[in-house]
Structure 1
Amino acid sequence: MHKSHNDDIGFQVQQISHLVKQLQNERLVKEDLSISHMNVMFVLYEEDRVNQSHIQNNLGIKASSLSKLIDILIQKGLVTRESPAGDARSKIICLTDLGKEKQSQLYNVRDELEKQLTEHLSEAETKQLARMLSQVKSNIVKE
């Protein structure tokens, strides 16, 4: 006998992912950003002045998708793209002053959502969930 579709872990993760993206994008409207833009910014908040491939590997997205995201962030004045001397193919992405100023606002948006997601979980359960999700991800992504 097969289990219910609603008991399928992959289905639940997919549904949660979809709902989280919707909630996050709703909250980011006031920042004129999407969750994809915010994820790029978070990589840069952890380590500014990195090459595009570092961001791409960190987020697990295609180079063409990342390039489009960075183009939009450049248009918004949040990042710059530089070519190091002697290597026109390599692109270094840097936060602008405006991008740095957005950091606390973006972390607040993320923290508000985290609070909603874990509202009925204890601190220990929240930590356990984070560990379990990390393990599930590592089962999929072999680094």
Structure 2
Amino acid sequence: MERNIENYLGYHINVVSHFIQNTYNQKLAEYDISMSQAKVLFFLADKGEQAQSVLQQRLYIKGSSMNGLIESLEKKELIQKRQSDEDRRTKLIQISEQGQELEKKLWVVIDHIEQELLTGFNQEEQQVIISWLKRMRENVQSCK
């Protein structure tokens, strides 16, 4: 059996993911924000106030990393954190007005990157890629 990393799908997904992540972070650095921080803002803008533990689960982030993201976003006044009235151990996170303004600007950047990323793919091909990646994510999650 020939062992060639170039023949493995996971390798190529990892390489593409690495380049995409670097591109996102490079473009978002102009706004003094990382892609990880932007994902928190996107989620909060879409879903409203959330428990920190829910953010952590939904964004697939470890607890220690989530704490760092929350702290940095709070220092930049892009989010607000408070204790839950029902359970004082639960921290509730909400996007601030400043965070909402930035989140709208970030979508323009993300849309531009996505357009570049998908150059040469028609709408149907784009949907197929997305559906395959979602299915692969489900396969990986079910293996845990």
TM-score normalised by the shorter chain: which range applies? over 0.9
Deviations 1:96-121 (A, max 9, x none): 11011112211111111111111010
**1:8 partner letter:** Y
Partner of 1:117: 117
| TM-score, with structure 2 as normaliser | 0.94
Structure 2 CA distance for aligned equivalents of residues 45 and 106 of structure 1: 12
Is residue 2:29 matched to residue 1:14? no
Stretches of structure 1 lacking an aligned partner (at least 5 in a row): none
SS at match of 1:36: helix
Runs ≥4 in structure 1, deviation > 2 angstroms? 1-4
TM-score scaled by length of structure 1: 0.95
- Correspondences of 1:54-133 after superposition (within 5 Å): 54-133=54-133
Report how far residue 19 of structure 1 moved: 0.4
Deviations 1:48-91 (A, max 9, x none): 11001111111111111101101000000100111022422100
Q: Mark the runs of 5 or more structure 2 residues left unpaired by the alignment.
A: none
CA RMSD of aligned residues (A): 1.4
Q: Matches of 2:35 and 2:90 in 1, distance apart? A: 25
Count of residue pairs brought into register by the alignment: 143
The secondary structure found in structure 2 opposite 1:85 is: coil
